Structure 1
Amino acid sequence: MVSPLEQMLIEAEARYLTPEQLEQLKAYVLGWPKRLHVYRAVREGESQMVSRTLNTLQKEMPNLSSQVVDLCRRHLILLLRYSALAMLLQDENLLKERLIEWMEEEVRLYKLQSAYEVAYRICQQELRDHLAPGELEFIRPLITQAQAALLSLDGLRSTE
C-alpha cells in the first residue's frame, strides 16, 4: 500500500495538484521539522525508555517469565520505531501493515494482553517523561492505535 503523500502524487501525475492537495502538501512540509525532532528524541531515548518500562513492568508483574520479558522488549522497541516512522511520514497504514498485523499473532499466541496492558501504560508514562510538552501528541495517536489493536484481541481494553 502506498502512503497518502505518494497516493496524492500518483493522482496528480498528469495534472497540477488541486488547492486541497497543495494545502495537504504544505501542512506535511511545514510539520516536517517538528516531526523530525520528535523522531530523533524517541530514537535517542529508546534504550532508556524500554529499559525503564521493563524494570517497572517486572516490579508490577514479578511472575513474568524471561521469555515474556524478552518478547516485551522486542515488541516495545518495534512499537517505538514503527510508531516514530509512521509519525515522521504521516502514514498510519505503515504502522498497521508493518507492526500490528503480524504482532497480533504473537500477542494472541503467547497470551500477552495482560502484560502488554501494563507495559503500554508504563511506556506511555516514559514517553511523557522523555518528550517535551507538546511533542508527545505527535506520536501518542500511533502508540494508542497499536495499543488498542493489540489489547482488544480478547476484549481487553487499556485505560490511560
Structure 2
Amino acid sequence: MLKSLERLSRETDGRYATDVELQFLEDYFTSMQKRISTYEKIRDAETKIIDKVEKQKQEINPELSKLNERDITDICRRNMIAILRCSAGAMLISDLDYLRDNILIWYRTIVRAYQYDRHDDTIYKLLENNTKAYLTPEEAKLIISVLQLNHTLLS
C-alpha cells in the first residue's frame, strides 16, 4: 500500500489520478475492516498460536527444536513471533513488498545459516493451520497468502 501510494503520487504529479490508478485504493478500503479484524485476532491469539505450534512440533519431531543437539526452542519461538507479527503488519497495510524487501531477505540469511529451512514445510503448515483456527475463512485468506509468501521466500 505504501509503495503504491508513493508510486501514485509520483506518477500523478501535477495531474488528477485516473479511475484505474485509484482502483487499488478502492480495493484496499473495501477490505480494510476485514484486514483490521484479522490483524486484531492474530494479535490477540499470538501466544496461543505459537504455543500450539511449539507443542505440535514437539509431537511430530522433537528434533525440530534442536540444532546440533542444542535446544533452540526459545530462538524458534522468537523467530516465529517475529514472522507472525511482520506478516500481520504487512497484511494490514497490504504491503508485501515491505515484508519481502525488509524482513524476509534478512530472515532468509538466518534460516539458511542455522539450516532451519529443512523443517520449513512442517513449521509453516503448523503456523498456517493454527493461525486459521482463530479466523473466519475470509480473514484466513488474507494472512495465509502472506505466510505462503514467507514460506516460498524462506525455502
Structure number with higher helix proportion: 2
2:104 is matched with 100
Q: Superposed, which structure 2 residues align to 1:1-160 within 5 Å?
A: 3-63=3-63, 64-65=65-66, 67-151=71-155
The letter of the residue matching 1:118 is T
1:155 is matched with none
Normalised to the residue count of structure 1, the TM-score between the two structures is 0.86
Output the CA distance in 2 between the equivalents of 1:24 and 1:118. 34
| Structure 1: segments with no counterpart, 5+ residues | 152-160
Output the CA distance in 2 between the equivalents of 1:82 and 1:132. 20
The percent identity for this pair of structures is 27
Higher relative contact order (CA 8 A, sep 6+): 2
How many residues matched? 150
Shift of 1:22: 2.1
Output the CA distance in 1 between the equivalents of 2:154 and 2:24. 30
What CA RMSD, in Å, does the superposition of the two structures yield over aligned residues? 1.6
For the residue of structure 2 that corresponds to 1:16, the secondary structure is: coil
Shift of 1:98: 2.3
| Structure 2: segments with no counterpart, 5+ residues | none
Output the CA distance in 1 between the equivalents of 2:20 and 2:89. 25
The letter of the residue matching 1:57 is K
**Cα-to-partner distance string for 1:46-100 (whole Å, 9 max, x where unaligned):** 1110111011112212133264322221221111111111111111111112221
Output the CA distance in 2 between the equivalents of 1:127 and 1:44. 11
Output the CA distance in 1 between the equivalents of 2:132 and 2:32. 21
Output the CA distance in 1 between the equivalents of 2:13 and 2:85. 32
Shift of 1:133: 2.0
Output the CA distance in 2 between the equivalents of 1:76 and 1:13. 41
Asked if 2 retains the 8 angstrom alpha-carbon contact of 1:82 and 1:98, the reply is: no
Report which stretch shifted further, 60-69 or 125-134: 60-69
Normalised to the residue count of structure 2, the TM-score between the two structures is 0.88
Output the CA distance in 2 between the equivalents of 1:48 and 1:19. 43
Output the CA distance in 1 between the equivalents of 2:12 and 2:108. 36
Report which stretch shifted further, 121-130 or 64-73: 64-73
Asked if 2 retains the 8 angstrom alpha-carbon contact of 1:100 and 1:146, the reply is: yes
Output the CA distance in 2 between the equivalents of 1:3 and 1:97. 12
